[in-house]
Amino acid sequence: MNKFLLCSISVLFFNAASFAAIGDTTILVTHTKTKLKSPPKNYDLWTVIPDSGKTYQKILMTFTLGCDTPCSHWDYTVNADFGKKSGAIDSSIAAVDSVTLDTTWAYTEHVDYIETGRLITPYGTYMDASQQGFNRAWNQPFYYDVTDYAEFLKDSVAIRVHYDGWSDGFTATVTFMFIEGPPTRTVQSVREIYHSYYGYSTSADFESQVAAKTFFIDSNVTSAKVIVNMTGHGSQGEFDPHTFFIKVNNAEVYSHLLWKDDCDVNPVSPQGGTWIFHRANWCPGDKVPIYETDISPYITAGQNVTLDLDFDDFAIQSGQGAGYGISAHLITYTSQKTNDVKMEEIIAPNSDKTYLHWNPISTKPKVKIKNMGSNNLSYAEISYWVKGGSKWYYEWHGNLPPFETEQITLPAFDWGGLDTTDRVFYAEAKWPNQVPDEYAYNNKLQSGFDITPKLDSVFFIYFKTNNHPEENWYIVQNEDGDTMDIKTTFPVNTILRDTLHLAPGSYTFDMNDYDNVSWGCGDGLKFFLNQQDPPCPSTDPCYETTGLIKLYKMTGAVSKNFTSEFGANIHYEFTVGYNLGSNPYKVPPVEPVHNTGMVDLNLLDAAMNVFPNPAKELINIQIDLNQDADGMIMMSDVSGRTIREFHVSGSSKYFVTIPSNELAKGMYFVNFISNGKHLTRKIVVQ
């Protein structure tokens, strides 16, 4: 059944993060707990997209995987695709008269599908058996930014869920969030390069299947990227790391190792099955990552470009196999910002299931930024705070090419003032390359979060080692990263009690495991395959007994009981001496000062008037351009701090009024920013 849920709202919590919208936000639900059955098949729903004439600053697709009855015990690939009618007609035989042999044909309009997301189902053993905290009510959200595919999400579109499984047991719910506003880049076209499963017998055979493709670059294209969504399958394709290459006009411009080396730190853990094993770009229970690369320097508007995907050479061993599921797209743009930093994710603090492993926290936040501008990103100012608290600042330095991301661990800050009934964390990225951000809609995110536990100042770590304690080590650190306790060597099959005396503060406890002999990943203090014969009889080095790890009060009561099946890491944060939000006061840092000097620039033959000057009650800002343009009006004081900002789009004339009686007396700067250039006017408030 095709179901719709439509609503317009101005502020929305979604993915435990809220995106600041300049217009309404529309929610659209297509598949609702659609049962995914074997054998592999497609689940298509035709959907009418409302308000197709609008533009969207962001379109977010959430794919929620659920557990059916029973939940499948195996890992499978699931795809989400968008389909549009091409105008061509497909024909198929509807019936054949057995006497006259006359054929009746059925005609349908051809639909072209393009893949927009891929995930791997978890081993659902524990969900099905109600073990390790799971049950059949389990579900897990996966998030995809599909803003570049806005042209597909107009009028009538088929939303396809493709299940590649050979056993029943999962459900799919697909939800879209449309946030109105101009996009950071204007998409000219999305063209499919590859979309198939390609077997690998030899390098030459693979490259003959994944042949080079040639595309014409229209005259109005200013930038372009190639995205690759690829997973390895078969015994060698799945478990062997290999490098793929992107070539533009026969020149190699990008290479990446097709390998996920963090499957043993999983958003869905523990699981049954071999969930800890690293694999070729996928982990059971996780989203398949997408590779993006900017090819703008290698294309010329009005000319053809040839794109090719190649693999390094490797030999297929006897009895083994390899194949690769590849979806690759060429996306071209007609406009883009020069300096645009995006706050991509809040990893911690965040109560969303995706980030469960690293939460809740009481020490250092973790965020991810993305360069959406055409310039390499070398600097960004990041501010962060909790609702009710003071802003803290961090100046990031690096070198991010367009479309690249970087995860940042921010310094510890003051949680004081936290509203414990409405817990909200904010993170904002601004001032890319020390200039005003040309697209502020993607600068800020917010997340809901849970409170960390409070422990006694004196407690002990209870550690029962297994027969391979050389794989283990643990460490306790305070919020400044100072080590309070560390243990790296342990006796075999022994119970240890390690007592800690901690002063009031915020702390982290990390328990680690790495099996370098058998699996090349973390297998925790218990892993079923280590005790299964075969492959691990008790005489084999891969055999492991079961260990335990807990935190105890000095009274003997358990403060925290950790699972022994933790893969590579347990991350646990806590406070001592106070609850989160009641921390001792810290002096917040001073906001960085940025250059706001005037730039003498002819911006689309623009005229910008700021009047009256000096101003006593109102400041009027009038901008006249010779053509429509998107931009931002920003007012700052002499220190460079932003006082007001307004986002404008789709017009050549703008008029904004600011009550000057709300401002302190003094000099201010009014900037109009568009496409990496800006105009500045001075104004005095009396």
Contact status, residue 63 vs residue 285, Cβ threshold 8 Å = no
Q: Are strands 56-67 and 8-9 parallel, antiparallel or unpaired?
A: unpaired
pLDDT given at position 18: 38
Element at 60 (helix H, strand E): strand 56-67
Contact status, residue 258 vs residue 280, Cβ threshold 8 Å = yes
**CA atoms of 670 and 432, how far apart (whole Å):** 19
Q: Are strands 56-67 and 170-180 parallel, antiparallel or unpaired?
A: antiparallel
Q: Show the tokens assigned to 483.
A: 């080590």
pLDDT given at position 676: 59
Give the residue from 199, 295, 191, 315 showing the smallest Cα distance to 249. 295
pLDDT given at position 491: 98
pLDDT given at position 283: 96
What letter represents residue 348's amino acid?
A: A
What DSSP state is assigned to residue 432?
G
Spell out the CATH class of 341-448. Answer: mainly beta
Element at 48 (helix H, strand E): strand 41-48
Which mean pLDDT values do the consecutive 10-residue runs of the chain (686 residues) have? 33 37 76 96 92 84 94 96 84 70 72 96 94 94 96 93 95 95 92 95 91 97 97 95 96 96 95 96 96 96 97 92 96 94 98 96 98 96 96 96 97 94 96 92 95 98 98 97 97 98 98 96 97 94 97 97 98 97 91 64 65 89 81 77 78 86 84 74 86
E strand map for 121-167: 139-145, 156-163
Contact status, residue 284 vs residue 123, Cβ threshold 8 Å = yes
Give the residue from 407, 378, 410 showing the smallest Cα distance to 392. 410
**What Cα–Cα distance (Å) separates residue 40 from each residue in 78, 162, 273, 275, 376?**
10, 7, 21, 22, 43
Give residue 662's region: left, alpha or beta (phi > 0; psi -120 to 50): alpha
Give the residue from 251, 255, 189, 250 showing the smallest Cα distance to 222. 189
Pick one of 2.40.110.10, 2.60.120.230, 2.160.20.60, 1.10.287.130 as the CATH number of 1-184.
2.60.120.230
| Residue ranges matching CATH 2.60.120.230 in the chain | 1-184
Q: Show the tokens assigned to 259.
A: 């390998």
First to last CA, the chain: 64
| Residue ranges matching CATH 2.60.40.1930 in the chain | 607-685
Pick one of 1.10.490, 2.60.40, 2.40.50, 1.10.10 as the CATH number of 458-576.
2.60.40
| Residue ranges matching CATH 2.60.40.10 in the chain | 341-448
414: number of Cβ within 10 Å: 18
611: number of Cβ within 10 Å: 13
Q: According to CATH, what is the number of the domain 607-685? A: 2.60.40.1930
pLDDT given at position 5: 39
Give the residue from 197, 32, 65, 85 showing the smallest Cα distance to 144. 65
**CA atoms of 642 and 639, how far apart (whole Å):** 9
